Amino acid sequence: MTQKAWFLLLEGAWVTLWISGTAIALGLVIGLGIALLRSARIPVLDTILALYTSLARATPLVTLVLFLFLAAPRFGFPLDRTTAAILALTLNTSAFNAEIWRTAFLNFSREQREAALACGMTPVTFFRHIMLPQMITTSLPGLVNEMSFLIKSSPAIAIIGLVDLTRVTNRISAVTYQPLPPILAAALLYMAIIGVLIKLQSLAERKASRLAM
């Protein structure tokens, strides 16, 4: 491939990376918030959040992207392509993350919580220094799998005109009539992104383990 083709692929990879990365960061925080709110077991709130997570997980990502981009303006909330893409990815991944976080919360040892509170530790201190590090360690494999899946599903954003890595690959293939080289190059870039995630997972697990000690 030419130098220009590689440059275009890297541009597309950057679009994929920063849009997916933003959605991943937001989804982790929102998912944790949903899990904690559901753990409060407030009937009406729990029903609303359970419905949200079910609908968001059941809706195909490409449908969610199109709906937000096309329907939001009808309700007085016009979204540009980038905002619609980030919002769609965030809604999708936060729903999956919420269930991963909630599972870790439900599996947390009640004895540890009771012992910490009995020793005079405040709920906030207990959550920050004891519970959250252990939840992170338990949830990391599932969270990283969800991040990887989101990145691999991100070509759905191309349907509203965003030029991500997959869309650039298709354009180069259409111009050069040689689809294999750009497809292989795109595969290598996706593998590099996922490989970095896996490495970060390993580092985060070691960090969380030290914090939990």
Per-residue pLDDT of the chain (213 residues; tens, 9 = 90+): 788 899 999 999 999 999 999 999 999 999 999 999 998 888 899 999 999 999 999 999 999 999 999 988 888 888 999 999 999 999 999 999 999 999 988 888 777 777 877 787 887 888 887 888 888 888 888 999 999 999 999 999 999 989 899 999 999 999 888 889 999 999 999 999 999 988 888 887 777 666 555
Entry pTM: 0.89
CATH code where residue 64 lies: 1.10.3720.10
- In angstroms, the CA 162 to CA 149 distance is 19
First to last CA, the chain: 51
Range of the domain at 191: 3-212
The torsion angle over the Cα atoms of residues 71, 72, 76 and 77, rounded to 10 degrees, is -160
Q: What is the pLDDT of residue 53?
A: 95
Looking at the 3D structure of the chain, how many domains does it have? 1
Question: What are the φ and ψ backbone dihedral angles of 119, each rounded to 5 degrees?
Answer: -85, 5
